Amino acid sequence: MKQNVQYVFRAWLAVALLFPVALLNYLDRQIFSTMKMSMMADMPSIGTNEKFGALMGIFLVVYGLFSPIGGYLADRFNRRWVVIGSLGVWSLVTWLTGHAHNYEQMWWARATMGVSEAFYIPAALALIADFHTGPTRSRAVGIHQAGIYAGMALGGLGGFIADSAYGWRAAFNGFGLAGVLYAFVLIAFLRAPEKPMGSEGQTSRSLTPWTAVKSLLCLGSFLLLVLYFTLPALPGWLMKNWLPSILADTFHLGQGKAGINATLWITLASLAGVLAGGVLADRWMRSTSRGRIYTSALGMTLMIPALFGVGYAPTLGVAIGFLILFGLGWGFFDCNNMPILCQIVRPELRATGYGVMNLVSITAGGLFTAKIGALRDAGVAPALIFSFCALAAAVSITLVLCIRPRNIAEAKAG
């Protein structure tokens, strides 16, 4: 009994300790987009929306390309140290970003940031999944993902920091220091459970990169999940990277007000969505092994009218209403991706599998982010971009409903 209590405590302590790391990872991404005007004014070499989009895009492309490597290392070695190492590199690169003085230096800083963050999410989610079995898995992942939305919300303040006497560089310098200090907290308190043993008796250390990837690509349901994970990346990164600029131009807002409205409402709704979606999915699993799949599909269904609504909103108030609906749907989707993956692949392939998912979805999102910059320079109406994203979300619902868990008993427990 005492051992079980200690295990439960360690399982939830891991979620609590990883929450701030998720926050910092997404804080960096959000403040970069909300401080766009100040950075472009300070560095004339950036010049155009297309080049600024390329800065956001290169982060995503590198992040996606390195995600399978980060996932494989997390499966092969200690996930705890992969997380800590990622945070250490993140802190250094964040500080260096505040010291970039031209487009080329910023390009390399964002590319390197993509490497550091690629090692975090697959390792962190797999570590949480190792601790939390079926009955609490979606809730645990949902709480961790809530850290992402907290980071996005704080990132919405980036415009105000940039407009203050401190300037945009102070934000990157300060958060870089915070990351270094928090790494020592993880070293002291974060622990990982024993490495998982696969259903065929394979430990994670015995898997070669080729064996791991081959095992994943032979699973039809995994391929469907990769595609399902990819299509929502298009509207997801549209919201994260371009919404502040779109709201500013469409409704004639200042940098600070646009940043707040672009992040606050989606973030609060997504926070509610991951928490409610986690609870709903775990309870739905009591009656069907497809409970998490149905919860995720429900979230995607909410996103479709939300995207059309934001694109064609006549006023800021109407846009905010649809942003809240989008955030709620995104939360249902976001808290169930790793739990669904756990119903498809063996434990020793979880981090690698999530890394492959990131490779495809984030690379597509990065290329789409850069393309949006070119479309905006060409004068394409935001409503058309949002409509395209809504259609992508509609297609993704069909994909997730075609996924089949391994079997009822294993799916509920695994």
Q: What is the pLDDT of residue 341?
A: 93
Q: Encode pLDDT of 169-225 as tens digits.
A: 888 888 888 898 999 999 999 987 765 554 444 455 567 777 888 888 888 899 999
Residues above pLDDT 70, as percent of the chain: 93
CA distance 93 to 114: 10
With cut-offs at 50, 70 and 90, classify the pLDDT of residue 324.
very high
DSSP per residue, 131-187: H--GGGHHHHHHHHHHHHHHHHHHHTTHHHHHHSSS-HHHHHHHHHHHHHHHHHHHH
Q: How far is CA 292 from the centre of its chain?
A: 18
- Answer for the pair 299, 232: CB distance below 8 angstroms, yes or no: no
Q: In angstroms, rounded to a whole number, what is the distance separating the alpha carbons of residues 390 and 387? A: 5
The mean pLDDT value for 317-330 works out to 95
pLDDT of residue 182: 93
Quick one: average pLDDT of 77-97? 90
For the stretch 174-212, what's the b/e string if a residue is b when 16 or more beta carbons lie within 10 angstroms of its beta carbon?
A: ebbeebeebbeebeeebebeebbebeeebebeebeeeeb
How many domains would you assign to the chain? 1
| Both tokens assigned to 192 | 């990982």
pLDDT at 183: 92
Residue 401: pLDDT band by 50, 70, 90 thresholds? very high
Q: pLDDT digits over 213-270, tens only?
A: 888 888 889 999 999 999 988 888 788 778 888 888 888 888 778 877 887 898 889 9
d(CA 72, CA 204): 9
pTM across the whole model: 0.78
Nearest to 81 by CA among 119, 115, 27: 119
Give pLDDT tens digits for 119-144: 998 899 989 988 887 688 888 988 99
Task: Note down the domain range covering 37.
Answer: 2-413
What tokens were used for 148?
């992402």
Output the domain CATH number for residue 395.
1.20.1250.20
pLDDT for res 314: 92
